[in-house]
Amino acid sequence: NVGAGDASLAGFLAAGGRGPKALASAVAHGAAAVQLAGSLMPAPADLDPASVVLSGDVPLDRALTEPAL
């Protein structure tokens, strides 16, 4: 969707622009944007920050695959 990147950047900056809190806010804003019609910017009521889980435990041996079509 148009606007998901802008929404992510807005969320990142709104949360201070650095650190895990800003990253989680960026993900929540971007995720909300792709669920809206057209290029609407998400409102606070559209956000679901509790659904964002950050982890530093990344399995480096995990194989990347193409998304299902």
Task: Render pLDDT for 32-67 as a digit per residue (tens, 0 to 9).
Answer: 999 998 888 999 999 999 999 999 888 899 888 887
Residue 2, pLDDT score = 60
Q: Which pair of tokens denotes residue 33?
A: 């944007």
Domain assignment of residue 10, given as a range: 4-42
Torsion angle, alpha carbons of 15, 16, 20, 25, to 10: 20
Q: Cα separations (Å) of 53 from 47, 57, 64?
A: 14, 11, 20
Look at residue 15 in the predicted model and tell me its pLDDT.
Answer: 97
Tell me, yes or no, whether 60 lies in a domain: no
pTM, full prediction? 0.80
State the pLDDT confidence band at 29, using cuts at 50, 70 and 90: very high
Residue 52 belongs to a domain = no
Q: Is 9 among the domain residues?
A: yes
Count up the domains in the chain and report the number: 1
